[in-house]
Structure 1
Amino acid sequence: MQSTHRVSVAGRPLQLALAFAFAAAPLAAQAVTPLDTFSARFGGYIKQFDTQLRADSQTQQGTEIDLDKDLGLGGQGNAIAFVNATWRPLDNHEFGIGYYQDDTSATRRTTRTFEFDGNTYQANSTLHAENAIDTYEAYYVWWAANNPNWALGPRVGLTWYRIDLTVDVQLDANGNTATNSQRGEVSADLPVPTLGGSWRYVPGGNSDWRFGADGGWFSLNSSGIDGDVYFARVGVEWFPWERWGFSADYTSRRVKIDADKSGFTGNLNFKDSGVRLGAVYRF
């Protein structure tokens, strides 16, 4: 038995963003520059979260579980809302922020016995799981090479994941209502920095199109977190009007860490990737 419920608000914001862009945009476009003084993007993120997690208790090591295969919390290909903004107060210095959030819940009959947060979940029992991920992004780029049709520079980024995962037993292995309260819970803040670079390009220096890429990596070993983080993004923007346009990009983050924190002790292998489609306002 399996049922899945998702709170998704991406569709309506994306429709409103596109409608507002058409209504508010001027009729004619001017040449796009590689960098903006300010920009805002909002739309839908067609995401793929691939997560394996092991939650240990104070006395015993847990079992690695796959949130999709074991708990039904994958939700691959579902869309969620995102928003981000950039600000370049000086010619060669840019700051950016972003946010998106995903809530998933599912009820599934597990096919194997596993340990999670000090609890043993027997094979063939029916489990209800809930997972919430809040993602906050911030970065800084020094555009060391700032030219009329392209820009390149080093990038320092930080993504802060707030992860809350709970697992409850609804029916035991015999199909009877669980009489004992058995609840495992993980709640953790995971700040993951990256060091890398950014690139922007306008073909021919006089175009409605702009291309961009960002990438980075970092090895963590502090504040109870030990592991590696990888980040990459490639994207394209089209501006049929001077200040309004559309964006599409593919983003991928990979977080592989061991954690020893107050809300979570164990291992996390987390891939956050997908396509973002949205509207852009710039000047």
Structure 2
Amino acid sequence: MVVLLACTAAGNVLAADGATGVSPALDRMSLSLGAVRADTSFQLGVSTPSGRYETPSYEGERVTIPRVRADFLLGHSQGVSLDYYRYDKSYSSNLNGSTTLNGQPLSGTAALAADARLEIGQVAYRWWMGQGADVVGLGLGAAYYRATVGGTVTGSVAGISNSGADGFERSTFAPLLELGWRHAFTPATRMFVEASGVKKNGGSLNGHIYTATIGAEWFPVENIGIVADYGVSRISLTRDLGREDSAQLNLRLHGPSVYVKMRF
């Protein structure tokens, strides 16, 4: 009986919220502060005076990435979404001969020393469809990203020692597409699924960033809650200044995130 009364009360609140025109799965305004705890996979390709070096995929250690998100509703079913995070990591590893120079494997032990920094800021205008406990969203916008990469690879080919170093710092804008689904179990408990894609062809910095996330929200008090999710991001960026001058960064991030969310 107690469970039945609780479910009935929650349903009445959800219906009341729906009657106002705003889904209980959405907030008028919210700000989330937290971090992503991610496992990383790193691969680097650089063109140097010695030739073209390609490293294998290097499994890096787990890193903590700070992240800030904000959402604003404009009316009942449209709004603006903002997202910013920064990845900053140094790599140093023996590559055990699996690195190539102009397609030929480096003999002996190759060594990689690299620094990678990636800043990503996104803004999207969202349309939400549905006024009950479930809403589906579509977002269109732009992403700004700045990549800074520097790396040195050393090894030997045919008994001759070789080393190469390269680096770049570039920034650009690219179109952004977002898809999302949100569900409110009660006014204090929700779940969500999100996916986004950024892709840019041409220019001195091009590539793609794809992200998928599933998570849940819980508000122990009305305006402050906890968000936990698990996400996967695939990042591939290329600095292209001509056939003889290019560098590529491939990065994969996957792991849980935790945020403190304030809603107004």
Q: 1:162 to 1:123 in 2, by over 3 A?
A: farther
Asked if the contact 2:168–2:239 (Cα under 8 Å) also holds between the matched residues in 1, the reply is no
Query: 2:8 aligns to what?
Result: none
Asked if the contact 1:192–1:229 (Cα under 8 Å) also holds between the matched residues in 2, the reply is no
Counterpart check, 1:88 vs 2:73: yes
Gaps of 5+ in 2: 1-12, 18-23, 157-162
For residues 1-283 of structure 1, the aligned pairs below 5 Å read 33-57=24-48, 62-66=52-56, 68=58, 74-75=60-61, 77-112=62-97, 114-115=100-101, 123-124=108-109, 128-143=113-128, 145-168=129-152, 183-189=165-171, 191-203=173-185, 206-217=186-197, 220-224=200-204, 229-256=209-236, 259-261=239-241, 265-283=246-264
- Residue identity opposite 2:168 in structure 1: V
Deviation for aligned residue 1:166? 1.7
Asked if the contact 2:142–2:175 (Cα under 8 Å) also holds between the matched residues in 1, the reply is yes
Gaps of 5+ in 1: 1-29, 174-180
Q: Give the 4+ runs in structure 1 shifted more than 6 A.
A: none
Asked if the contact 1:114–1:122 (Cα under 8 Å) also holds between the matched residues in 2, the reply is no
After superposition, the C-alpha distances for 1:130-172 in whole angstroms (9 at most, x for unaligned) are 22222223222111x2313222122225443322222347x98
More strand by percentage: 2
- Residue identity opposite 1:62 in structure 2: R
After superposition, the C-alpha distances for 1:169-217 in whole angstroms (9 at most, x for unaligned) are 7x988xxxxxxx96421323354544342211102xx431011112244
Q: 1:92 to 1:109 in 2, by over 3 A?
A: same
Taking the aligned partners of 1:97 and 1:68, their CA distance within structure 2 comes to: 31
What RMSD over aligned residues (CA atoms) do the two structures have, in Å?
Answer: 3.5
Q: 1:266 to 1:46 in 2, by over 3 A?
A: same
- Sequence identity (%): 23
Taking the aligned partners of 1:51 and 1:63, their CA distance within structure 2 comes to: 14
Asked if the contact 2:171–2:205 (Cα under 8 Å) also holds between the matched residues in 1, the reply is no
Taking the aligned partners of 1:102 and 1:217, their CA distance within structure 2 comes to: 18
